[in-house]
Amino acid sequence: MEKEIHKENRFIPHLADYKKTCHGFRWEAVGKELALDSGKLNIAIKAIDQHTGSWRKNKVALYWEGARGRGSNQPEADMRSGRNFTFAELSTESNRIGNMLLNLGVRRGDRVFVFLPRIPELYTSIIAIAKIGAVAGPMFSAFGPEAIRDRLLDSGARVLITHASLRERIHQVWDELPELKHVVVVGDRDRLWKGEVSFEREVEKSSRELEVEDMDLEDPLYILYTSGTTGKPKGVVHVCHDMVSHYITTKLVLDLREEDVYWCTADPGWVTGTVYGIWGPWLNGCSQVTFEGRFDAEHWYSIIEHYGVTVWYTAPTALRMLMKAGPEVVKKYNLKGLRYILSVGEPLNPEVIRWGLEVFGLCIHDTWWQTETGAIMIANYPSMPVRPGSMGKPFPGTEAAIIDNKGNKLPPGTRGILALKPGWPSMMRALWGDEKRYKEYFTIPGWYTTGDTAYMDNEGYFWFIGRADDVIMTAGHRVGPFEVESALVEHRAVAESGVIGKPDPERGEIIKAFIVLRHGFKPSKELEEDIKEFIKHRLSAHAYPREIQFMDGIPKTRSGKIMRRLLKARELGLPEGDLSTLED
């Protein structure tokens, strides 16, 4: 274990004493702090509308920066396209969008999916969906037609809000979506394709006043799809009660306060971007930044400098890419306003923490949670020394443990299953339409099992070991091998495929595919690139195999299951283990 880092804070954190906070913590008290028992219950009122009745009405809630140079002939270096939105403006715009959706026949409980780049309409639409009591389904804008179809079909989505630049992917699968009634298109009001509705025209004629729906705590709020080892992506259902966890974890872990400018780099198509890039900061009345464009080290540093970002929540992959860009790039920018950096998505390497101390003078604090947990569950807090490589300690009000497969707690230093005691507000309530798979999380009585293996040290810090299943964590994104394997065999040249995660110093893991070709095709570099491009467009840019190995056969069990464990062992030079079930 590396030496603890004791870094003096330039501020008094909200969570100043971990033990004391844990001892006195009550979820019910957080609900009272949010005033859940007074007035209408709706997360959009608590996060947006209530601020319009205070001095925050004209406070900037969202600093939006567009992709540099879009729609302009100016040199890139001279361009910064963007717009600021106050809480009052977010309230009004979301009211109009809510009325537009009501006019299209959307009602409480209906699923409305949002497939947009990180433009302002993404944020105002998600707020609007919550206001009318519908269920939001944010989708990552890099998804291909197959990923889109699977999510819309499984959820029974009635309406999809998308952008003109993404519409072609929708039209490729719309005929396979019988419950999808309307596709609302942003960005092309006058050249609509068959069956489309203009976002701008419909919103312009909608009222600025909206009767916000009064919700119950257990009413669904949003669905996010996450990958597993088998089958299609599973729709994780979260409810309005999540707001309690969103609010208090943002306050105590991210340590946001009134004067902060906060930047979460995650897309709302991923749970971090929904919870900590929309709801959590605004429940705390904070200003936040969002950037539409792709990763670029200099541009990212310029955003921190330009907007005076003080709290920054990002991913280890991004930090490693910044580290790779070198220290000279950092020196070009004034980042002295930055006071707190956090990380999420995959384990944070100790070397990145050391780099952060060197270039920013700040210790990067890692956090751990899942789409299914709905909020941060284990974290490194500003009031505690950081043990580089550790996940940190459980959030107050939650109980984490390392257990065996019978539910017995294991002693410190013993590897086992990372599990949580059910009952925190943001715990998923269902997998959409799949009770059987949902119950698999709770097969050990009294515990929610995370699918991760870990151990706890003598001081209560948790340490991640790996996934207990075959899910691949690449650049912070969970990718199910079955999804990629299914898409691969749709390629005209592929007969069989097996997919594993391979360790990678920058991305954590990369996807490697082992492929058996159909009769008449021969391995070549050109075919390899063609297969990669096929998956990029079929699934998404983060789910394609960066390495491909052509084989004569894929190892399987006698029952026909792909032995990914064996593929991985052979790739990494590890013991192959029991081969008794390997087919002859």
Q: Please indicate, yes or no, whether residues 171 and 299 belong to a single structural domain of this protein.
A: yes
Q: What residues have CB less than 8 Å from 183, skipping those under 6 apart?
A: 159, 160, 162, 167, 170, 174, 195, 196, 197
How far is residue 399's CA from residue 263's CA, in Å, rounded to a whole number?
Answer: 29
In this structure, is residue 497 part of a structural domain? Answer: yes
Q: Please indicate, yes or no, whether residues 337 and 221 belong to a single structural domain of this protein.
A: yes
Q: Which of 397, 419, 451 is the last residue of a domain?
A: 397
Which two three-digit tokens encode residue 82? 């963007």
In this structure, is residue 402 part of a structural domain? Answer: no
In this structure, is residue 467 part of a structural domain? Answer: no
Q: Which residues of the chain have pLDDT under 50?
A: 69-79, 559, 580
Q: What residues have CB less than 8 Å from 198, skipping those under 6 apart?
A: 184, 185, 188, 189, 190, 192
Q: Please indicate, yes or no, whether residues 51 and 137 belong to a single structural domain of this protein.
A: yes
Q: Please indicate, yes or no, whether residues 69 and 179 belong to a single structural domain of this protein.
A: yes
Indicate which CATH number applies to the domain containing 222.
Answer: 3.40.50.12780
In this structure, is residue 447 part of a structural domain? Answer: no
Q: Please indicate, yes or no, whether residues 506 and 360 belong to a single structural domain of this protein.
A: no
Q: Please indicate, yes or no, whether residues 388 and 246 belong to a single structural domain of this protein.
A: yes
In this structure, is residue 464 part of a structural domain? Answer: no
Domain range for 378: 18-397
Q: Please indicate, yes or no, whether residues 502 and 357 belong to a single structural domain of this protein.
A: no
Q: Are 314 and 343 in contact (CB under 8 A)?
A: yes
In this structure, is residue 148 part of a structural domain? Answer: yes
Q: Please indicate, yes or no, whether residues 223 and 75 belong to a single structural domain of this protein.
A: yes
Q: Please indicate, yes or no, whether residues 477 and 358 belong to a single structural domain of this protein.
A: no
What angle do helix axes 316-325 and 297-307 make, rounded to 10 degrees?
100
Quick one: the chain helix, strand, coil %, rounded to 5? Answer: 30, 25, 45
Q: What is the pTM of this model?
A: 0.85
In this structure, is residue 440 part of a structural domain? Answer: no
Q: Which of 364, 397, 430 is the last residue of a domain?
A: 397
Indicate which CATH number applies to the domain containing 515.
Answer: 3.30.300.30
Determine how β-strand 287-291 pairs with β-strand 261-264.
Answer: parallel
SS3 letters across 327-357: HHHHCCCCCCCCCEEEECCCCCCHHHHHHHH
Q: Which of 355, 381, 397 is the last residue of a domain?
A: 397
In this structure, is residue 196 part of a structural domain? Answer: yes
Q: Please indicate, yes or no, whether residues 481 and 386 belong to a single structural domain of this protein.
A: no
Report the run of H or E that residue 191 belongs to, with start and end: none
In Å, how far from its chain's centre is CA 229? 18
**Rg (the chain; Cα; Å):** 24
Q: How many structural domains compose the chain? A: 2
Q: Please indicate, yes or no, whether residues 493 and 392 belong to a single structural domain of this protein.
A: no
For residue range 380-439, what is the model confidence (pLDDT) as tens digits? 999 999 998 899 999 999 999 999 999 999 999 998 999 999 999 999 999 999 999 999
